[in-house]
Amino acid sequence: MSVEQAAVQRADFDQVMVPNYAPAAFIPVRGAGSRVWDQSGRELIDFAGGIAVNVLGHAHPALVGALTEQANKLWHVSNVFTNEPALRLAHKLIDATFAERAFFCNSGAEANEAAFKLARRVAFDRFGSEKYEIIAALNSFHGRTLFTVNVGGQSKYSDGFGPKITGITHVPYNDLAALKAAVSDKTCAVVLEPIQGEGGVLPAELAYLQGARELCDAHDALLVFDEVQTGMGRSGHLFAYMHYGVVPDILTSAKSLGGGFPIAAMLTTEALAKHLVVGTHGTTYGGNPLACAVAEAVIDVVNTPEVLGGVKTKHAKFKARLEQIGEKYGLFTQVRGLGLLIGCVLNDAWKGKAKDIFNAAEQEGLMILQAGPDVIRFAPSLVVEDADIDAGLDRFERAAAKLTQA
């Protein structure tokens, strides 16, 4: 029997995989909409969305159709050539945003790597070698490459990998005074998530982002928004910067962009993009026809009044019920976030126990997420049906009841 045909089980993970993950005890094998089935046939409701990736749920017909059609045409040619799906997708992203140029890659980390390299190259070309400092926020998360993990403001991810990349400063999130004190004429970029995702589903204050924009303008620095987690409709707008009305110079997108197929993008203006001349940056798979065809289908579905308006309605439904559960069972004190990126902040009695709640929910047939040890995160499909919201939150309430009665 070949490897492809051999039966596998969760225990195989510990035998064949690098142990940098600790996956759940079950293996999902099939999904439809907001429902998932594991190897035993058990059904779960998915409020995790593959960590804010499955923007249209599982096996959405528009995405399946786009992938199938493209799979019968062209899979890969590299960037030695261009391709039609990449050009169509770029046009649609540019038409829908502030951007004038797009760069495609495969992951949020790669999109941020490109953004940070672009920011430093622009500053180098315009002002010289001393303008290279990047300011980011504490508790931010921008990826796992050495560059992006150093820009991210969580030392637990960057420690232990040798000397750190220099020229990076971290300041408290939503603290405009601290940001102002840190920015100087050596600053080439300020990098912010409009909503901190891994840092606890913490939205930025409007005045903070407005102030960041003004500081960047005053110091010839670029404002970079990491919208890897907040982009493609998750906030109720196509991108969260539209909610705030603060326009960045560079924006990164991934996760929901492909609805489950790996793809990412860096979006920027023509004036900035011209600094990445031929040979300065690249990727073999970026702009892959399969990925771009799927992402084009995603934006066609998501960037509509029906879906974006529905996100805001579904947010209100989630928030009202979660606040009731939090009050009734005394698990969390605050429900925050935008659209369908929602965080429940655990109270003092439950601080550090997000994993326990994650496990209890799974036992009730519900897939959720953590955002650190103190926040429960929900990132469901943007088109999750009301009946699935009700059923999933019923399961969450049963988990809360069992935990607090124990």
Annotated binding site: 108-109, 141, 144, 226-229, 283-284
Residue 370 to residue 364: CA distance in whole angstroms:
17
Are the beta carbons of 59 and 304 closer than 8 angstroms? no
> Locate tokens 């002002």: which residue?
127
Q: Name residue 148's amino acid.
A: T
The residues, any chain, with a CB within 8 Å of residue 392's CB and separated by 6 or more, are: 34, 45, 47, 366, 380
Residue 221 to residue 50: CA distance in whole angstroms:
34
Element of type H or E holding 370: strand 369-370
Q: What strands, in cross-sheet order, belong to the sheet with 43-46?
A: 28-32, 35-38, 43-46, 366-367
Could you tell me where the DSSP H helices lie in 30-107?
Answer: 49-52, 61-71, 84-96
The residues, any chain, with a CB within 8 Å of residue 153's CB and separated by 6 or more, are: 136, 137, 138, 139, 140, 141, 170, 173, 199
Could you tell me where the DSSP H helices lie in 99-151?
Answer: 108-127, 146-151
Q: Which two tokens stand for residue 308?
A: 């974006």
Q: Which parts are annotated binding residues for N(2)-acetyl-L-ornithine?
A: 144, 283
Q: Which parts are annotated binding residues for pyridoxal 5'-phosphate?
A: 108-109, 141, 226-229, 284
Are the beta carbons of 59 and 66 closer than 8 angstroms? no
What are the distances in angstroms from CA 192 to CA 133, 235, 247, 250, 405? 14, 16, 12, 11, 40
Residue 290 to residue 83: CA distance in whole angstroms:
10
Residue 64 to residue 405: CA distance in whole angstroms:
44
Are the beta carbons of 340 and 315 closer than 8 angstroms? yes
